Chain A
Amino acid sequence: MVMQDEREGEVPINSEGDIVSARKIVRDATMAMGFSVTDVTRVVTAASELARNAFHYGGSGVMYWRMINASNDVGIELTFQDNGPGIPDIEQAMEAGYTTGRGLGLGLPGAKRLMDDMKIESQVGQGTKVTVMKWRR
């Protein structure tokens, strides 16, 4: 449960169960911030995709979330950090249908479309950091 005064937090992602916890925290946070039902679903779904990537491809990782205030706007920023193998070709990873695993290859491009902004930093052999954000409408 996210308290009203909670503005940020972090969730370790080391198991399937942690993906569920990450989703729950993002859901509670966006609902507390007053996102619409559709936008809550969008952000939670994107979080689910990215948390799963961190777990499946990175082995384990962490999700940081924080509320952003900019003049009259309120938004949420989510950062997923893992210490996995990294992404050699980010452009390719963003192509719909491309996957090195057994998934659909829609997670990363899908998460980008669900959010307002997405940034990927990755170093081969070091890990990947994906940052996404969405404004409340």
Chain B
Amino acid sequence: MVQVWDGVVAAPLIGTLDNRRTEQFMECLLQRIVETNSPVALVDITGVPTFDTQTAQHLVETITAVRMLGAQVVLTGVRPALAQTLVHLGIDLSNIVTRASLSAGVRVAMEILDLLRADRGGDRADGGAYGWTHCRGGHAGQRCHHGDAAGFDLGWGPDGVGRGSRPADDEWCAPRGRQW
């Protein structure tokens, strides 16, 4: 399991997926997502020779668990023959983002990251799922006036009270130490 980008982990699945291997895979993937604070996980099934209803069930369970952590899964390596077979089997993956290749999956991951970054400019005062470490005002490189509303990540409360000191007016809101 590798971190391919800041915020994106890739997990290639190789070989057959039985109960034991799925459990190991799920444990490892969830751990990596938390360790790297990644909002996106690419699960690549190029190396899985046979995909049947049990494999699908295991994978859907894994994806559900990942979602509980607040991350999203992009399933990659869905070959044409596999897509046809899954449709015949009656397996519904319509609520899962799938792509034919890992590279197409990486592109989707980038789009998701972009959306999350755009979100940062909005009114989300909840800090998101990934604990922004700087002002989310979306004005990197400009003077920050958001100390009272959005700057609580720097250590003071949303109302300008409490947990630490407010930065001086001339402090810049730079995208330093951004973490997903």
A residues whose Cβ falls under 8 Å from a Cβ of B: 16, 20, 23, 27, 37-38, 40-42, 44-45, 48-49, 52, 96, 103-104, 106-107, 109-110, 113-114
Contact = CB atoms under 8 A, between A and B. Distances in A.
Given A41-B50, A106-B91, A110-B91, 20 more contacts: A23-B50, A37-B81, A38-B84, A38-B85, A41-B85, A42-B85, A42-B88, A44-B49, A44-B50, A45-B51, A48-B50, A48-B52, A49-B53, A49-B89, A104-B56, A106-B90, A109-B90, A110-B88, A110-B90, A113-B89
Contacts of A38: 80-81, 84-85
A38 B84 CA distance: 8
Interface in B18-73: 18-19, 49-54, 56-57
Contacts of A44: 49-50
Q: Is the interface of A mostly helix, strand, loop or mixed?
A: helix
A33 to B, nearest CB: 16
B89 A114 contact: yes
Nearest to B19: A16
B142 interface: no
Contact of A113 (B18, B19, B52, B88): B88
A45 B54 contact: no
A36 to B, nearest CB: 8
Nearest to A115: B88
A66 to B, nearest CB: 21
B81 A106 contact: no
B103 interface: no
B113 interface: no
B82 interface: yes
B165 interface: no
A107 B90 CA distance: 9
A114 B85 contact: yes
18 contacts: A16-B19, A20-B16, A23-B50, A38-B84, A41-B84, A41-B85, A45-B85, A48-B50, A48-B52, A49-B53, A49-B89, A103-B53, A103-B54, A104-B57, A107-B52, A110-B53, A110-B90, A114-B85
